[in-house]
Structure formats: structure tokens, C-alpha cells
């Protein structure tokens, strides 16, 4: 069965072979990769896409392609994945996002992230979801804050895959617990009087 989560203006769905070219182009963009140690070569992007496809097949969740009907079949990726590093907060499930520049500044990352959180808590019944990023990545931290995640400086850490001394070495960790999560879609339905 194919995977699909949607709101009135966006869709998170399974990977398709046709995602390859826009995925490669997005990861070759130095602005998109500003808070990553390097841009990704075509070969590196192919390997990463394959890794996300396999993660989805194995676990039933992954970083999913974000489609904006009427605009683009591939605006970037948003989703959930098992954190691939060892750190003081692992093992855990992480939420993440990466959008191509034309789709920044329109609320798509936040809206899709709320969908992914809903899936993680309602369907997967996760107790906690975390997010991590380079300390200077304010746009990503703003998404974390908008979806209700909390930052505790005591959780900050040095990313083990970033070279010592690199300006992106220091990372922040945000967390959200199932018990603290308020389903925004359910809230909207309740406010509209359509839910019991
Ligand atoms: C991180 C990233 C996804 C954030 O993108 P973003 O566009 O800032 O976030 P959103 O899609 O949630 O959009 C929010 C903005 O849209 C605005 N907006 C416009 N129309 C909106 C609407 N209809 N609904 C909600 N927000 C809207 C918001 O006011 C907000 O603007 P602000 O940043 O000026 O306050 C993006 O910067 C990115 O892909 N970066 C590169 C990859 C990366 O670093 N990923 C994270 C690695 S950990």
C-alpha cells in the first residue's frame, strides 16, 4: 500500500524515481546546504535518497517527499527517521525537513512537520520525537519552536560526524513528548464544532 499524508495544500508521500533529479538539484544548492558541512555530489545524493527509501520500507516512516499540488511534485522532504548517530539522546526518532528555496517562507515546512508529528504520535504511538540542527540554523530552529518543541541547553552536543573545530560542530536538540503534544488538526476541528 502506498503512503500518503495530506493537508488542503500539501502532500507527504512515498519516494518515486522521478524525485531523483529535483532531489539532486536541491542538494547541490549551497544555500540549501548552508548548515551542512558540504553540498552533496550527485553520487552522494543518490546514496542518501536510497537510504531514505530503504528506511521507509523497513520502518514504515522516513523523510518523505513533499508535494504541493498545482505547483510542484517535489518541493523537498519532511518526515521522521531513526537518528543515525550515537549520542546521549539516542536511540530516538527524529523529525527533519529540507526544502528547495522557491518553497521557503510560505509555511510549508511547519505545516508538513505538524503532519509528521501527528503520524508519529497518533499512528506510531511514539513517546517522544526529537529534532537536531547546527546551533546557528535559525530557520530550522524556528520550525522546531513553531511546532511546539522545547530546547534545553543541557541537551546541546557536538555532532560526531562534523570535524572538530568546524563552525557547524555544535548542535542543539529539541524535544517534544507525546503527552505534551496538541494535535493542531483536531484542535481546529474542535473549534469548528466538527469533533466530539
Ligand atoms: C529549515 C527550512 C525548511 C525552514 O523553511 P521556512 O520557509 O523558514 O519555514 P516554513 O516553511 O515553516 O515557513 C515559515 C515562514 O513562512 C511564512 N508564511 C508565509 N505564508 C504562510 C502561511 N500561509 N502559513 C504559515 N506561514 C507562512 C511564515 O511567517 C514564516 O516566515 P518567517 O520565517 O519570516 O517568520 C528551510 O530554511 C530549509 O529548507 N533550509 C535548508 C535545509 C535545512 O537547513 N534543513 C534543516 C536541517 S536540520
**Contact (Cβ atoms closer than 8 angstroms) between residue 65 and residue 78:** no
- Res 196: pLDDT: 32
| Alpha carbons 118 and 82: distance in angstroms, whole number | 17
Distance CA 68, CA 11 (A): 6
- The maximal CA–CA distance of the chain, rounded, in angstroms, is 54
Ligand 1 pocket mutation pick from 97, 132, 145 by most atoms within 8 angstroms of CB: 97
137 φ/ψ angles, rounded to the nearest 5 degrees? -80, 80
131 CA closest ligand 1 atom index: 48
Q: Nearest 5°: CA angle at 132, between 170 and 63? A: 140
Residue 196 Cα to ligand 1 midpoint, Å, equals: 32
- The Cα–Cα gap between 194 and 196 comes to 7
Using CB atoms within 10 Å of the CB of residue 18, give its burial: 0 to 12 exposed, 13 to 18 middle, 19+ buried.
Answer: exposed
pLDDT score, position 63:
98
Reading the chain (196 residues) residue by residue, the pLDDT tens digits are 588 999 999 999 999 999 999 999 999 999 999 999 999 999 999 999 999 999 999 999 999 999 999 999 999 999 999 999 999 999 999 999 999 999 999 999 999 999 999 999 999 999 999 999 999 999 999 999 999 999 999 999 999 999 999 999 999 999 999 999 987 776 655 554 443 3
What residues form DSSP beta bridges with 157? 171
For ligand 1, the distance from its centroid to the CA atom of residue 136, given in whole angstroms, is 15
Full set of structural domains in the chain with CATH: 4-191 (3.40.630.30)
Per-residue pLDDT at 194: 42
- Distance from chain centroid for Cα 164: 25
Residues with CB under 6 A from ligand 1: 32, 35, 96-99, 104-110, 133, 137, 139-140, 142-143
Pairing label, strands 170-177, 128-134: antiparallel
CB atoms inside a 10 Å sphere around CB 7: 13
Amino acid at each position: 500500500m502506498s503512503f500518503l499524508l495530506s493537508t488542503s495544500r500539501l502532500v507527504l508521500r512515498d519516494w518515486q524515481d522521478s524525485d531523483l533529479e529535483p532531489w539532486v538539484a536541491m542538494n547541490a544548492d549551497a544555500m540549501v546546504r548552508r548548515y551542512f558541512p558540504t553540498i552533496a555530489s550527485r553520487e552522494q545524493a543518490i546514496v542518501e535518497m536510497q537510504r531514505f527509501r530503504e528506511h521507509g520500507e523497513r520502518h514504515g516512516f522516513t523523510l518523505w517527499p513533499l508535494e504541493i499540488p498545482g505547483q510542484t511534485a517535489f518541493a523537498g522532504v519532511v518526515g521522521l527517521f531513526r537518528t543515525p548517530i550515537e549520542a546521549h539522546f539516542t536511540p530516538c526518532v527524529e523529525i527533519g525537513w529540507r526544502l528547495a528555496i522557491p518553497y521557503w517562507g510560505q509555511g510549508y515546512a511547519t505545516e508538513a512537520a505538524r503532519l509528521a508529528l501527528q503520524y508519529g504520535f497518533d499512528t506510531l504511538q511514539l513517546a517522544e520525537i526529537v529534532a537536531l540542527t547546527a546551533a546557528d540554523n535559525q530557520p530550522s530552529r524556528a520550525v522546531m519552536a513553531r511546532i511546539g518543541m522545547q530546547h534545553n541547553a543541557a541537551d546541546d552536543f557536538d555532532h560526531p560526524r562534523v570535524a572538530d573545530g568546524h563552525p557547524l560542530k555544535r548542535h542543539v536538540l529539541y524535544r517534544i513528548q507525546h503527552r505534551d503534544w496538541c494535535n493542531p488538526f483536531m484542535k481546529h476541528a474542535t473549534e469548528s464544532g466538527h469533533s466530539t
